[in-house]
Amino acid sequence: MSAKREIGFRERALEAVGWEKLRHFTEKKDVPVHGSMVFYYLGGMALFLFLIQAATGILLLLYYRPSASEAYESVQYIMAEVPFGWLIRSIHSWGANIFVGVVILHFLSAFFEKAYRPPRQFTWLSGTALLFLAFAFGFSGYLLPWNTLSYFATKVGTDVPAQIPGIGPLLSRILRGGSDVTGATLSRFYGVHVAILPATATLLLGIHLYLVQLHGMSVPPAVERAGPPRRMKFFPDFLLRDMVGWLTAVALLAVLCVFFPWELGRKADPFAPAPAGIRPEWYFLSMFQALKYLPATIAGIPGELFGIVGFGVIGLVVLLVPFLDGRAVEGRSSPWWNRIGVLLLLAALALTVLALLPQPGAGAS
């Protein structure tokens, strides 16, 4: 009798969660097979790394204190006193950088494979918004350890919006919570990093995944023109291959954390001079370097303003490319968009390398 009750409960539970529908969905779901399908794995790896960031971030929250007087000491305590605290923090810090890198690669593969063609315009919009959110996660999380590097890099970063005429100074004050980077800035960035951005990212991620399931994975136009590609079962064939990428990410994180644990540096001193050669995170270096090359004024207008407007225009064009690339919409090749993409990518790489080179006078304090 007890065995019958147990089976009955199990069946009711499976029915309640829609197990049969899920099983039918996974049995039916498949993935196109072609020469560029390796890029499909980047999406799964980005999702896996996002989950790692969420898990390690929650663990760090248990001990972190978001105030100018306690933030640095609480991170120090996590690294020195909490069992495996140094490892959790290293995974979170290295994982953030790898996550942004994988999201950028996922974005680039989608762009060059024209994954934004109908009916996937909104998949592209949600994915691009997630890329911008990844940058926002990096920018807001950078200040939280409250060390010298993060303090002065945030000071430089929050100075940039102030160059916009009219609303610029107000934007800068909203970001900082005042006229300078203080404990109010730290509290503000903490709230954005642990509440606003995760909630927004989870919502957008849900929409993005739903749209991917609805429309299926995109196939490059050249493959599409050659005829319907061969298909592979998502479960278990594609999922097992996807998991190889996840395990590779875990192995890379383990190597980085063990051999190059993330350092804390020195506590921020707002009254100390900014150290020479201060730089933002690597994914902001190209914009940082481009702003440095601009003259102080162009036709009487601040040079940095031209840079900020330029970055804004590029971001807007990238966001709206599904509605601007008419040839791709019609299923034809659009080489000019590829050339523009390659040109921007090479410029970003060149500026990043230039920013990493030793700067004249950087050794002087």
Whole-angstrom distance, CA of residue 29 vs CA of residue 233: 6
208: closest CA among 134, 329, 120? 120
Of the chain, the percentage scoring pLDDT greater than 70 comes to 96
Planar angle of CA 219, 32, 342, nearest 5 degrees: 35
Whole-angstrom distance, CA of residue 202 vs CA of residue 302: 38
| Statement: residue 263 has pLDDT above 80 | yes
More confident residue, 15 or 2: 15
More confident residue, 228 or 111: 111
| Statement: residue 363 has pLDDT above 80 | no
Are the CB atoms for 163 and 170 separated by under 8 Å? Answer: no
pLDDT at 365: 37
pLDDT at 75: 97
pLDDT at 6: 58
| Statement: residue 360 has pLDDT above 70 | no
pLDDT at 328: 87
What does the pLDDT look like over 151-161, one tens digit per residue? 999 998 898 88
The average confidence (pLDDT) of the chain is 91
Pairing between β-strand 297-298 and β-strand 301-302 as defined by DSSP bridges: antiparallel
Residue 308, token pair as written in the block: 């900020």
pLDDT at 15: 84
For the residues 56-66, what does the mean pLDDT come to? 96
pLDDT at 364: 42
| Statement: residue 11 has pLDDT above 90 | no
Global confidence as pTM:
0.91
pLDDT at 22: 85
Are the CB atoms for 275 and 365 separated by under 8 Å? Answer: yes
| β-bridge mates for residue 195, sequence order | none
Query: How would you classify residue 7: left for phi > 0, otherwise alpha for psi between -120 and 50, otherwise beta?
Result: alpha
What does the pLDDT look like over 275-312, one tens digit per residue? 877 888 999 999 999 998 988 888 777 788 888 899 99
| Statement: residue 23 has pLDDT above 80 | yes
pLDDT at 254: 94
What does the pLDDT look like over 206-239, one tens digit per residue? 999 999 999 999 999 888 888 888 999 998 999 9
More confident residue, 278 or 242: 242
Residue 3, token pair as written in the block: 């065995």
| Statement: residue 165 has pLDDT above 80 | no
pLDDT at 54: 97
